[in-house]
Structure 1
């Protein structure tokens, strides 16, 4: 996001005496043109950044300049602190601690309690209740690989449990729908792949470096695609699973059916994933229609029963 990048550039300029446009472009994986536009934007908000040409040239904040506390509003500072604090629950390191310290140093003394109150009004804890014990260490390793442009090797479990050995150029760490993913170029498949961390084992950082290649970031928003694929089915649920059903659709699709049940217009795609969602509600959910979905549910239930009868 541009705002986050501008803040990061300002922090870098405060920390360093001088840095080249190319170095900034490499850090944020954007074009030189984008960096020049960002520097112009920083100048417009009142922070005087000057450029010097030639060997050793680059951008720097004018000597003796200190950021006026008015550059960031109370809401700006509390939002930045909230975002950084939530990230620090998952990815720890000196960089985040230093950044948090610098941001806090911008808070005027007379505003400290008010901004602390605003910050504490929201809690974004990205850690899981139980989760994979390896995840934290894996996140740290991927973070190092991203910063140092080193190859990662690991075993990857496919959809049906088959494992393959992979060597990957790491490009991006993604948190999507409570799951962490690594976006990288797989040397085995000769293409970019999205790897789910929960399927990764024996993760190792290789000593080999790689030269970053151009790539398109993965598509993470499938809202429009899902709308064309999904249909509505009718399910009858007990109120005890209502909160879990609400993870998949909104309350406007619920209609009361007596005192303890609801009829729900449930978004559905005819594949294993969605059938398993219905089964996860156990005997607190009944598919009412369409009839062929109900018949398929019945067939799958018979298959499960057959396993236990044998």
Structure 2
């Protein structure tokens, strides 16, 4: 809608400063001609918006001009307060900043939207960590976040899983990721991924680095997760699942993709596995509701465990 697009132009210019018509058109996914018409409409409405010609030209707002957030829709106001994550913000040292920012936004909202935002805050709460894991101690998280923000090099002593376990690393921190309650820093050169809770010592430097122009944190993390899962599950197991079994995780995906029902009503499915040791523990959780057909080593391993249990329990 045109009114929504006009508000978007105002907010873009307010937050980013000078922008060309082509940049606005690309951001809003409209034609440059549409941007020209919208800019004329804003000017006719009294918005102090100026256009400069030339290579370094573009549109900008008069210095000091700010628009109030009256253009927010009900859904946008609700989403804004639902996105508040006080726990992670506090870990980053931004707890009070987040609270103050939400207070200012709330004060700027019209009364009807303020009521919706209050209802969201009172009825939804985000708790990212899992049930069975204690929160990681991340004493260096604020320092890492500061280095990310200011593009400063870090020198750390880091604990990894393989020998030698404790290593010295020079990091150029590009960004932070919170995954399932655990913080990761993505850092160059590479880039590579490091768990923040495994940083044993940290020294911040005044040395600045240049973040690659083509680096996108979200795209990197998506590719990193895909690669992680590909490397993690390099084997396969052929299993039968009893009727009525509702598996979860990778097995549920495998059932959806290649599961088929045999003459006894069991589901025959090929499942990706990390290793025989790992699959042994995972499959035993299903008890008599699963039968491993292959690999033979896994079938024999589970059969041996069953014999041991029979002997122990009589």
If the TM-score is normalised by the length of the shorter chain, which range does it land in?
0.5 to 0.7
1 CA distance for matches of 2:301 and 2:80?
51
Residue 181 of structure 1: which of 184, 188, 192 is its match? 184
Deviation, structure 1 residue 164: 1.7
Residue 202 of structure 2 corresponds to residue 197 of structure 1 = no
CA contact (8 A) 2:184 2:195 kept: yes
Residue 268 of structure 1: which of 266, 272, 277 is its match? 272
What does residue 24 of structure 1 align with? Answer: none
1:268 to 1:206, Cα distance in 2 relative to 1, 3 A: same
SS in 1 for 2:85: helix
Q: TM-score, normalised by structure 1?
A: 0.61
Cα shift readout 1:25-67 (whole Å, capped 9, x = no counterpart): xxxxxxx9757844898x8699857357699x98436766542
Misfit runs of 4+, over 4 Å: 18-21, 32-41, 43-49, 51-55, 61-65, 127-130, 228-232, 251-255, 262-266, 280-287
1:36 to 1:289, Cα distance in 2 relative to 1, 3 A: same
What does residue 234 of structure 1 align with? Answer: 239
Residue 172 of structure 1: which of 172, 175, 183 is its match? 175
Residue 14 of structure 2 corresponds to residue 13 of structure 1 = yes
Cα shift readout 1:170-211 (whole Å, capped 9, x = no counterpart): 10112335443211113xxxx221223343322332232223
Residue 289 of structure 1: which of 292, 303, 309 is its match? 292
What does residue 226 of structure 2 align with? Answer: 222
Cα shift readout 1:133-170 (whole Å, capped 9, x = no counterpart): 432x3332221111111112222333325222111101
Cα shift readout 1:280-307 (whole Å, capped 9, x = no counterpart): 67666576323325537729x89xx9xx
* Gap regions ≥5 residues in structure 1: 1-5, 22-31, 256-261, 306-310
2 CA distance for matches of 1:64 and 1:163?
53
SS in 2 for 1:101: helix
1:284 to 1:267, Cα distance in 2 relative to 1, 3 A: closer
2 CA distance for matches of 1:180 and 1:229?
26
Residue 145 of structure 2: which of 143, 146, 156 is its match? 143
1:11 to 1:35, Cα distance in 2 relative to 1, 3 A: closer
Residue 125 of structure 1: which of 115, 124, 127 is its match? 127
Return the index of the structure with the highest Cα Rg.
2
SS in 2 for 1:77: helix
Q: How many residues align?
A: 263
CA contact (8 A) 2:184 2:196 kept: yes
RMSD: 4.9
1:156 to 1:103, Cα distance in 2 relative to 1, 3 A: same
2 CA distance for matches of 1:154 and 1:200?
7
